[in-house]
Amino acid sequence: MAYNAFQKLKDNISAIRIALQWDKKSRISSTDIATLQNYSGFGGIKAVLYPPTTQEDWVKLGASDNDLRLLPGIRELHELMQNHLDEKQYKEAVQSVKNSVLTAFFTPNIVPRTLYNVLNEQGIRPKRIYEPSAGSGVFISKAEKAFPQLEQITAVEKDRLTGLVLSALNSGLSIKVKTHIAGLEETPITDNGQYDLIVSNIPFGNFPVYDEAFTNKELTGKIHNYFFAKGLDKIADGGLMAYITTDAFLNSPSNRAAREYLFDRADFISLSVMPDNLMKETGNTEAPNHLLILQKNGNKAGLTNEENELLNTVQQENEFGQFHLNRFIHRHPELVIGDELKSGRNQYGHANQSVWQHGDINGIEEKLATTIREGIRERFGENLFLHAQMKTSVHEPEPQKQILSYLPMPESKTVSVPVQLGLFDTAPAENISRAMDYLNDLDKSVIQKQTVRLISTVKTSDNPAHESIVLLTAKQEKTNRYLYKLYSNVKEVQFSANWMNASVLGNELAALAGQLQQYAHAYIYEGDKSLEQALGLTSGLQSIQANPELKPFYKDGTLVVHQNQVGILNNVDVEFKQSAFQPLQRQGDLAFFQSYTGLRDSYLELYAKELSGINLDEKERISLNQRYDNFVAQYGFLNSPANNKRIINDLAFGFTILSSLERKESSQFVKADILVQSVAWQQERFITDNPLDALARSLNEKGRVDLSYMEMATGLTEKELISRLGNHIYLNPLSDTWETTDKYLSGNVVEKLQQAEELLKNNPENPQYQRSLEAIKKVQPENIPFELLDFNLGERWIPNRFYERFANQLFEQDTSINYFSSLDTFKVNTYGHNAKIDREYAVTPKSGRTTYGYTMLEHALENTTPFFTYEVTGPDDKPIRVPDNEAIQLAHQKIENIRNGFTDWLRELPDSDKKRLESLYNQTFNCYVLREYDGSHQRFPGLDKKSLGIEELYTSQKNAAWRILQNRGALIDHEVGLGKTLTMIIAATEMKRLGIVHKPLILALKANVNQITETYHKAYPLARILAPGENDFTPTKRLRLFHEIKNNNWDCIILTHDQFGKIPQSPEIQKEIFQAELDNVERDLETLKDLGGEISKRMLKGLEIRKNNLEGQLKGVLKNIEEKKDAGINFREMGIDHLFVDEAHKFKNLTFTTRHNRVAGLGNMEGSQKALNMLFAVRTLQERFNADLCVTFLSGTPISNSLTEMYLLF
């Protein structure tokens, strides 16, 4: 049956409607289940890439007749999403649908049905299944029916809408199902090693995936390679992997490294070369694919002959060209599942060996079953699989625990070079030498082997000479940052082969702690004592399944009191209300820990409400304060040595509580502000007797001059306010609203004058209109004549008709020119050819492909030059391409001739045309007056001028402060010596005094921080300032400092640029910015759709791939930032509401995109981590206040190298 896009879209909409309306509590009816099961994604419906507009728009975009049949359905889909999702969710859902076009090709039922039948037949009955790309859940629903003994299924689906459908479907299953609507790279590490079967139709494509657990780009550079590597981590040793994957995984030489990684860690079981049309009916796609089945084996001695063949490829050729075929497939044609094998092309148009199944796709069942069955009989390790099931099954702990099986340790090797310890190196030389014994060739390609250290060893008391678990650390080869790797010398515990950063290590150690407690051993720990607690290595402890009351914020490592025992929660699953409770080795202090946990939970609940903006009943704060007072009365301060020692047992929150509820003043600990007052920004009624203060507050609160608001703030009447504000405000005749003088007498003053004169004709008696007219007349700019204008071909303000007239004369041919504003691109079309187009203004490079005159004009309009290359024979007789400099230079000369010809042509225009251009220029550009801020009225209460040694502030300082107060930020580009430091200080204080901000933060160079702090104390002696020194920002102290910032009301905080870089940023903001960057890429190319036809469709799909690539790159930059930071609290949670950035040019190198290349001085397009981190912080504040700016940049050189810096700054 052929793929029916119209019916599939209709089925999808019906399923999505049910999923969106499902309340997640009620049970879904069997009728709705059937509807949901008809969902098949949008992989075969490329029309979803078009917007929900009109038929005319779609025709322009190149839509076919078949596409146009889907237009009503696409509109219905968008309307459905808009009705059930907010604006942000709707935008994410639309983007998710577009992304799914690349990968959403759903699996026909025949595949899981046949696979599961053979597994059952061979006595292989999985208990815990993982589906990493679940789609609508065909592998899940069939598994429930095939394996009655199933204990749990975990399903992962990245597409939002598909994930909602999947969740609704899974809710109707009789077994426990956990659904992650996220990418596989975002799934929790606690899933690792917990499953005996991973099965999926995985996505494929040459776009990368970012996962901090995998640093090898051979694995992450292509999504199908990543799914194999990540999938291995999810299954236990002995577990099965069954993937439908692109044929390129095995056939492409470029994927050899990924195949080596896979077969080094898993045994080959079975391979089926599936029909290209396997997913034609379900996904409208024809793509070569394989069903590959493997069995994880972490103790392989080496590769089999078959596996060595699977690593290699052979070159083949047919009438369509050359292609590569896997050597194993080449030698085993019986693996082909289909009734025709022929020469063909793949979905990209490249030559390949095509496999086809004619008629019903279900006809492959018998051959597929035979191939899978024979592979299992020949290669399946039954005992290994049973071991995986024993490791992953969920049982109540038995009284008799198992014993670990010891494996041989690496032999000690002779170190070929002397080990030289650094001055501060604490690891003994023998530990460094022993660490080298664990390294393999892959390790040595990732880390600097001379830096490797063995930092921790876990042994058992019954075999103390055996290194059961070993932890190494070393510096990464490229970044010079420390990474970590765990090695196991026991059969039952296996780790990923990847090196990891500190945050991933913490999760791995938590999982390892739970694993070790499952075995009947007392453990001996040697090494870094700071890691011993994380491993929970204490002899004779029992870990029991328990279900104490799980609060939403509980996580692994949380200390609780359960059944009169004090212990730690592990394997916390709040969703399923499950956890493991591990009693502390030393019991006692029960009353202490009951008091502590009550205090902790009260604080965490209160702060969560403050952070989310929920209206807080102050009785909760009073209760929290009382709990704290009672605790201190009975046990002393939280941070006393005795209490600190006990509280730190709370691995999850102990340090947070110690640093959140008390702050250190001098040598004493005192109560934090959050116990007695809100530390979150709150709207308060503003009262003042100064109309100018009311004006500043009105501009910030309302964004305008709001006389009603100012009446309430001052108690004055509107008439009194207008009189007392005098020349600080003017009435704009057009909007009939009041504006500040600097606003009204700036901007497009020519247009404002015209409007004022017109309105005054109808209202000649209005004195305020007359007053505004007289004021606007005085600031009119002088007209610039045509002769003084500097024209350049391609300037966007010049009407297109002038360019077409020039082109007609240039080519002596009718020519049309279209300008696409969203892409900032010109398209030139000529209606015929002649010598001007084909020769005089054309260039034929050595490659032989002529660039004609109309293309050269496009380059001239865009001020670019074509780049030509040609092929030569390089080293090893391989062809390479080199620049055709002669053709490039010739093109440059001809483009310059065109550009110069345009300016000559303009001089010959009739006077009427010249006058028209002159008028257009002056009306467009020479009509603006720069806004000037007058802050002379400000009095700065509390400013101690005497201590500062000044009689008065500079006028520039007052004006800058007034500008910052009005706009909640500014760029202050004062030169050295004009007092930027004091400008920051007075602006921060005034913003705080007027209630515009609550907790400002000043950032400065390390060399300037002490001077700024000293000046602040002189200027405002009573100000409450936090200015940590260098010693206060060590890794062990700065997390406490972050909590002191969060939980106390400071007048100002002063940090260095580097200290600021250590503050983690909000993950939500980071995600939004990544999406905004991706949106920019889409907007840059959007207008190309207007070209129509197949070109447009290819570009649309190429755009989605480019966006995926950019997403991986941006996340990689983010990862580099995060490695430098502390976890547990981020910038958004600290309550900071304004940034003053001194020497702001240090943050100017932000990432950007441009179509211009090979242009000197553009700067680094990838940008700096420092600038990206600043962007995250600024966007956090802008989102919080729904306002522009929220930051004040101060620099004497805001733009120093390139105009790119101006674009990035604004």
- Cα–Cα distance for residue pair 368/337, rounded to 1 Å: 6
What is the C-alpha to C-alpha distance for residues 796 and 790, in angstroms, rounded to an integer? Answer: 14
Residue with the two structure tokens 């049973």: 386
Q: What is the DSSP string of 63-103?
A: --HHHHHTHHHHHHHHHHHHHHS-HHHHHHHHHHHHHHTTT
Q: What is the spatial distance between Cα 170 and Cα 150, in angstroms, rounded to a whole number? A: 14
pLDDT per residue as tens digits for the range 866-924: 999 998 988 777 788 899 999 999 999 999 999 999 999 999 999 999 999 999 999 89
Average pLDDT, the chain: 85
Q: What pLDDT, on the 0 to 100 scale, is given for residue 1183?
A: 86
* 758, 937 Cβ separation under 8 angstroms: no
- Confidence at residue 33, expressed as pLDDT on a 0 to 100 scale: 87
Which of these, 194, 216, 172, 161, lies nearest to 45 by C-alpha position?
161
Q: What is the CA radius of gyration of the chain?
A: 35
Paired tokens of 142: 């069939």
pLDDT in tens, 186-205: 888 888 899 999 999 998 87
At 1082 the pLDDT is: 57
3-state DSSP assignment of residue 1203: coil
Q: What is the pLDDT of residue 285?
A: 75
Residue recorded with tokens 């100000």: 1023
Query: At CB < 8 A and 24+ separation, what contacts does 391-396 make?
Result: 391/193, 391/236, 391/237, 391/238, 391/492, 392/127, 392/128, 392/193, 392/194, 392/195, 392/196, 392/236, 392/239, 393/127, 393/128, 393/151, 394/128, 394/151, 394/152, 396/545
Quote the pLDDT of residue 28: 84
Q: Structural domains in the chain?
A: 5-100 (no CATH), 110-302+361-391 (3.40.50.150), 429-535 (no CATH), 544-675 (no CATH), 786-926 (no CATH), 934-1064+1125-1210 (3.40.50.10810)
Please give the average pLDDT of every successive group of 10 residues along the chain, which has 1210 residues: 77 89 80 86 79 83 83 91 86 77 73 96 95 91 91 91 88 87 87 93 84 85 94 95 96 94 96 91 80 94 94 92 94 93 82 90 94 96 87 51 86 54 42 82 86 89 86 86 89 86 76 80 77 61 54 88 87 74 83 96 90 79 95 95 90 87 88 87 78 88 88 93 94 92 92 90 88 93 93 94 95 91 82 92 93 95 92 82 94 96 95 95 92 88 93 94 91 81 96 90 94 95 90 76 89 94 80 67 49 44 58 58 57 92 85 53 65 88 84 81 56
pLDDT number for residue 612: 75
**Closest to 1113 in 3D by CA, of 1152, 1066, 1160:** 1152
Cβ–Cβ under 8 Å, residues 793 and 860: yes
CB 232 within 8 A of CB 295: no
CB-based contacts of 53, cutoff 8 Å, min separation 6:
none
* Cβ pair 128, 194 in contact under 8 A: yes
**Residue 363: its pLDDT value, please?**
92
Contact 769, 756 (CB under 8 A): yes
The pair of structure tokens assigned to 157 is 């689906």
Residue 94: the pLDDT is 85
Which residue type sits at 5? A
pLDDT of residue 88: 78
Bridge partners (DSSP) of residue 730 are 739
What does the block give as tokens for 1120? Answer: 């580099």
In this prediction, residue 1092 carries a pLDDT of 42
Q: Identify the pLDDT of residue 467.
A: 92
pLDDT at 541: 39
pLDDT attached to residue 397: 39
The C-alpha atoms of residue 249 and residue 218 are separated, in whole angstroms, by 12
Residue 351 corresponds to which tokens in the numbers above? 């030559």
Identify whether the C-beta of residue 484 lies closer than 8 Å to the C-beta of residue 541: no
pLDDT of residue 314: 95
On whether the CB atoms of residues 777 and 752 are closer than 8 A, the answer is no
